[in-house]
Amino acid sequence: MKLWQKNSNDTAEVDRFTVGCDREMDMYIAQADVLGSLAHTRMLAAIGLLTAEELADVQRELKAIYHEMEAGNFRIEDDVEDIHSQVELLLTRRIGDTGKKIHSGRSRNDQVLVDLRIYLRHEIYRIVQEVEKLFRTLQRLAEQHKGVLMPGYTHLQIAMPSSFGLWFGAFAEGLADDLTMMEAAYRVCNRNPLGSAAGYGSSFPLDREMTTRLLGFDTMAYNVVYAQMGRGKTERILAQAMAAVAATLNKLATDNCLFLSQNFAFIAYPPELTTGSSIMPHKKNPDVWEVMRSRCNRLLALPNEISMMTTNLPTGYFRDLQLLKEVLFPAIQTLKECIGMADYMFRHIEVKTDILNDPKYDYLFSVEVVNKLVLSGVPFREAYRRVGLEIENGTYRPDREVHHTHAGSIGNLCLERVDALMESVLKRFDFDRFLRAEEELVR
């Protein structure tokens, strides 16, 4: 069954090629499709296109279908084109011709748009929850290990003293910035395109304010042409926010791979969280972090992939856009898995507390020696020259005491300020608004 079919049938070859794995992808947005129809049909009744009795029948069965989806008792039949067709088919089977009325005033174009935005805002909600968990873990570790020194590097050369508090805390603060980007994506996503129909509106007196309110959107996407132009743009903006989180995880993964190696040996994990070798019995490989690094590299490519898929498309809908689901939906699942696994690993990390006792790290403290001379009245350039000459002639002796007290340094991590930064970002999402609206629709 196809919503657009009249009397002709397409060939099986065309069906296989054009539908592809869309039935599988549409299962991601199945519940969102029902939510959109629940709001749309209430609006249709309000403008006189459904009677009170028809609305009651439609609402009852749509809610039944929604709960079947929740229970895992729903599928898109093999000869049905997509989720929209399947829901309408089930309604028609259960309540007769009234089921055929639910498409009044909309096109699959705006139907899939609203489905996507409902689904994507849920996924943003879940990503934010996972990021917040990882943030809390990193902040806890930063506080726990704030006094444990470690080498800092530039150019992979020994540079200056750092600490595990700085290391953990840096990534925590980075996640707060990443969620600022995610909040921007959420705002773009959380606008109602329903009522734009095929991209040029409808002659029905649709109440778009009503569906916006019922679905818990911030606003509608006002211009009907721009609502359709949002397809592809919304996905790309979300992909950019996802890539920001992935970049943070990627650097975390790379640091872990380095710090776990015998050449560094800064951290350790329980044996069951590493993997062995089929030939070398001593190996404890950081496979989790290596796989995460690669997966995050793929996520970093996602915005460009979406951009290339939508480049040079004129105004209006094109079937090209269908393929966006195939790259975006699995990527969302990948990102959530990576965030969750990073949190799991960090809850089992062990840090080495005596790293800087090794003489090879003596040069870490050269700046400390320079600064001590400056504090005693020696001009900085003269102090720098003296210590440099001592290093060259072998008379340099490190001062291993570290006195960093300014904001954001080893002795003043500003963890409470970073907590406040994250809290301010989280409050801006206001997820409760759409969660309450959706709960009311299916009640």
Which of 48, 71, 101 is the C-terminal boundary of a domain? Answer: 101
pLDDT of residue 285: 86
Token code pair at residue 369: 């020696």
Report the chain's mean pLDDT, rounded to a whole number.
94
Shared domain for 293 and 418, answered yes or no, is yes
Dump pLDDT digits (tens) for 263-317: 999 999 999 998 876 677 677 889 999 999 999 999 999 999 999 999 999 998 8
Beta bridge partners, 294, equal: none
pLDDT of residue 7: 53
d(CA 380, CA 402): 18
Question: Residue 56 is part of a domain; what is its CATH number?
Answer: 1.10.275.10
For residue 167, which of 146, 195, 136, 197 has the smallest C-alpha distance?
146
Under the banding of pLDDT at 50, 70 and 90, the label for residue 12 is: confident
DSSP code string of 274-302? SB--SS-TT--B-HHHHHHHHHHHHHHHH
> Does residue 6 lie in a domain region?
no
> Does residue 3 lie in a domain region?
no
d(CA 143, CA 1): 60
Dump pLDDT digits (tens) for 336-368: 999 999 999 999 999 999 999 999 999 999 999
pTM here is 0.93
Dump pLDDT digits (tens) for 181-234: 999 999 999 999 999 999 999 999 999 999 999 999 999 999 999 999 999 999
Give the helix, strand, coil percentages of the chain, each rounded to 5.
Answer: 65, 5, 30
d(CA 205, CA 201): 10
Token code pair at residue 313: 């498309």
Q: Would you call 340 helix, strand, or coil by DSSP? A: helix
Dump pLDDT digits (tens) for 48-82: 999 999 999 999 999 999 999 999 999 999 889 89
Shared domain for 337 and 221, answered yes or no, is yes
> Does residue 1 lie in a domain region?
no
Cβ neighbours for 360, distance < 8 A, ≥ 6 positions apart: 158
Under the banding of pLDDT at 50, 70 and 90, the label for residue 401 is: confident
Q: Would you call 261 helix, strand, or coil by DSSP? A: coil
pLDDT of residue 330: 97
Dump pLDDT digits (tens) for 104-156: 999 999 999 999 999 999 999 999 999 999 999 999 999 999 999 999 999 99
Whether the predicted pLDDT of 378 surpasses 80: yes
Under the banding of pLDDT at 50, 70 and 90, the label for residue 399 is: confident
**Between the CA of residue 341 and those of 130, 338, 344, what are the distances in Å?**
10, 5, 5
Shared domain for 17 and 159, answered yes or no, is no
Shared domain for 270 and 135, answered yes or no, is yes
pLDDT of residue 4: 46
- Which string of b and e fits 222-232 if b means at least 16 CB within 10 Å? eebeebbbbbb
For residue 130, which of 344, 340, 346 has the smallest C-alpha distance?
340
Over residues 367-395, the mean pLDDT reads 93
For residue 60, which of 84, 83, 82, 34 has the smallest C-alpha distance?
34
Start-to-end CA span in the chain (Å): 30
Which of 53, 71, 101 is the C-terminal boundary of a domain? Answer: 101
Shared domain for 372 and 246, answered yes or no, is no
> Does residue 2 lie in a domain region?
no
Cβ neighbours for 271, distance < 8 A, ≥ 6 positions apart: 284
Under the banding of pLDDT at 50, 70 and 90, the label for residue 21 is: confident
> Does residue 418 lie in a domain region?
yes
Phi, psi of 432 (to 5 degrees): -55, -30
Shared domain for 156 and 217, answered yes or no, is yes
Shared domain for 200 and 92, answered yes or no, is no
Whether the predicted pLDDT of 434 surpasses 50: yes
> Does residue 73 lie in a domain region?
yes
Shared domain for 369 and 346, answered yes or no, is no
- Which string of b and e fits 115-146 if b means at least 16 CB within 10 Å? bbbbbbbbbbeebbebbbbbbebbbebbeebb
Shared domain for 434 and 348, answered yes or no, is yes
Whether the predicted pLDDT of 436 surpasses 90: yes
Token code pair at residue 249: 């995880």
Taking each helix axis from N to C terminus, what angle separates 52-70 and 83-95, rounded to the nearest 10 degrees?
120
Residue spans of alpha helices (H) in 156-214: 164-189, 208-214
Which of 101, 119, 154 is the C-terminal boundary of a domain? Answer: 101
- Our count of domains for the chain comes to 3
Token code pair at residue 257: 């791979």
Structural domain span for residue 271: 108-355+413-442
Shared domain for 41 and 94, answered yes or no, is yes
Shared domain for 364 and 343, answered yes or no, is no
Question: Residue 431 is part of a domain; what is its CATH number?
Answer: 1.20.200.10
For residue 131, which of 70, 185, 50 has the smallest C-alpha distance?
185
Shared domain for 281 and 304, answered yes or no, is yes
> Does residue 5 lie in a domain region?
no
**Between the CA of residue 207 and those of 117, 215, 250, what are the distances in Å?**
19, 13, 46
